[in-house]
Amino acid sequence: MEIGAGQGGARGGPSPNAGKVVKVRWVKQYAEATNQVCIGEVVRETAEYLVMRGVVLNVRKGAPELKRDEERVHWIPWGQIAGACELPSDTKWRQLEFTVDEVGDVKCRRPPPRRTAAEAG
């Protein structure tokens, strides 16, 4: 996946990455800021913004707590994006669970599969 400023969507045209599941990390330039990671799907791209529907994870450096915001649409300025990666297309991002390890990195794990009534006994 190549995402970048000005690819589609800037004048209402289709975005070549719409619907792709991505993880994006962006930076804020003030000391009290938390690290922010958004997991979700690309809605569109404009010359100034990556528009995503997803959940944002807020992590403060050196703290084991992780705050997960509600799902919503986020307009992320291209200049603030520190990193992005495409996740497998079958990723059920709404169901993912997250933790913070001892170093402060956000870790993702898929929830265990649901058992059927027959399997549960």
Query: Domain residue spans in the chain?
Result: 21-111
Q: Which amino acid is at 17?
A: N
Cβ–Cβ < 8 Å for 66, 100: yes
Separation of alpha carbons 18 and 23, rounded Å: 14
Q: Which amino acid is at 24?
A: V
Residues in contact with 37: Cβ distance below 8 Å, sequence separation at least 6, in sequence order: 23, 24, 25, 56, 57, 59, 106
Q: Which residue has the higher pLDDT, 10 or 46?
A: 46
pTM equals 0.72
Q: What is the average pLDDT across 88-108?
A: 82
Q: What is the average pLDDT across 14-36?
A: 81
Alpha-carbon 102 to chain mean position? 21
> Given a cut of 90, is residue 7 above it in pLDDT?
no
Separation of alpha carbons 60 and 98, rounded Å: 14
In terms of Cα–Cα distance, which of 90, 14, 97, 86 is closest to 55? 97
Taking phi over 0 as left and psi of -120 to 50 as alpha, with beta for the rest, 120 belongs to: alpha
Each residue's pLDDT tens digit, 42-97: 999 999 999 999 999 887 776 777 888 899 999 999 999 999 999 998 988 998 88
Instruction: Write down the pLDDT at residue 10.
Output: 46
